[in-house]
């Protein structure tokens, strides 16, 4: 089913540099990895959680575009990774784009998406990829997985207030819980999915027309 996703005005920055040693070096203090390193030959072995997406992405990148030597990565973030703003996907996209620039490999947005989405599936096993698409295309988009439809909506700005509960849910766990409910109660859950899709279609029109009152009412309907 389709969804609508918007990029927020907070950024993750990734700097990638070639080094002479055959190491993967990561400086990511926001995920408690100020000076992490691993030999390139040992990528994805005993990887700490904070490095999992970037290390997996680089392993997939090397499979497609073999390189000699190592790399050093520095990440900085405008927001805390615990907020559930898709920071793992955003850093994966920024890192992949940095690699393409560093090694002068031209990637289309769809090729960039495919490489990053492959990474998410390798790490989590499941996921729609909408957060990757948001980081790549930006703005507010109407999205169908896996980037089979990406339509930019006309809304210049979306006035959102985000409240943080202090609890970050695990995406993969929740997806599997929903899948389990769908297996047990297929017709009932499919009906709910259809309703969600209908509301999403209505929201596409409301957002494009910048009708925020209607958009808010539709968001309430989705939550219900």
Q: Is 175 helix (H, G, I), strand (E, B) or coil?
A: helix
Tens-digit pLDDT profile for residues 193-218: 999 999 999 999 999 999 999 999 99
pLDDT at 57: 98
Give the residue-averaged pLDDT of 122-150: 95
With beta carbons less than 8 A apart as the criterion, state whether 4 and 201 touch.
no
C-alpha dist (Å) from residue 220 to 24, 40, 141, 158, 213: 45, 48, 19, 16, 11
What burial class does residue 94 get, using C-beta atoms within 10 Å of its C-beta: 0-12 exposed, 13-18 middle, 19+ buried?
A: buried
Higher-scoring residue by pLDDT: 162, 186: 186
pLDDT at 131: 95
Nearest to 145 by CA among 120, 177, 174, 173: 120
Q: pLDDT band at residue 144, thresholds of 50, 70 and 90?
A: very high
pLDDT at 220: 96
Q: pLDDT band at residue 16, thresholds of 50, 70 and 90?
A: very high
Residue where the block lists tokens 């769809």: 110
Q: Is 22 helix (H, G, I), strand (E, B) or coil?
A: coil
Tens-digit pLDDT profile for residues 58-106: 999 999 999 999 999 999 998 877 777 888 999 999 999 999 999 999 9
Phi/psi zone of residue 27: left (φ > 0), alpha (ψ -120 to 50 degrees), beta? beta
This prediction has a pTM of 0.91
What is the average pLDDT score of the chain? 94
Tens-digit pLDDT profile for residues 25-62: 999 998 899 999 999 999 999 999 999 999 999 999 99
pLDDT at 192: 96
Question: To which H or E segment does residue 23 belong?
Answer: strand 23-28
CA distance linking residue 95 with residue 73, whole number of Å: 8
Render the burial of 99-127: b for 16+ CB within 10 Å, e for the rest: bbeeeeeebeeeebbbbbbbbbeebbeeb
pLDDT at 213: 95
CA distance linking residue 207 with residue 107, whole number of Å: 30
Tens-digit pLDDT profile for residues 148-176: 999 999 888 888 888 888 887 788 899 89
Higher-scoring residue by pLDDT: 164, 184: 184
Higher-scoring residue by pLDDT: 9, 111: 111
């Amino acid at each position: 089913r389709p969804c609508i996703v918007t990029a927020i005005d907070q950024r993750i920055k990734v700097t990638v540099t070639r080094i002479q040693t055959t190491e993967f070096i990561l400086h990511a203090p926001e995920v408690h990895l100020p000076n992490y390193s691993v030999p390139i030959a040992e990528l994805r072995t005993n990887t700490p959680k904070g490095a999992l997406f970037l290390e997996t992405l680089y392993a997939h990148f090397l499979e497609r575009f073999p390189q000699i030597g190592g790399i050093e990565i520095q990440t900085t973030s405008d927001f805390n990774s615990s907020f559930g703003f898709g920071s793992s996907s955003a850093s994966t996209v920024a890192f992949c784009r940095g690699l393409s620039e560093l090694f002068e490999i031209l990637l289309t947005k769809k090729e960039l998406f495919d490489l990053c989405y492959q990474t998410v599936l390798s790490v989590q096993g499941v996921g729609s990829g909408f957060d990757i698409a948001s980081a790549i295309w930006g703005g507010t988009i109407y999205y169908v997985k896996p980037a089979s439809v990406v339509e930019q909506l006309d809304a210049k700005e979306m006035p959102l207030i985000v409240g943080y509960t202090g609890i970050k849910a695990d995406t993969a766990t929740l997806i599997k819980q929903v899948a389990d409910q769908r297996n047990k109660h297929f017709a009932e859950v499919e009906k709910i999915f259809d309703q969600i899709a209908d509301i999403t279609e209505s929201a596409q029109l409301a957002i494009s027309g910048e009708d925020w009152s209607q958009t808010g009412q539709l968001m309430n309907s989705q939550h219900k």
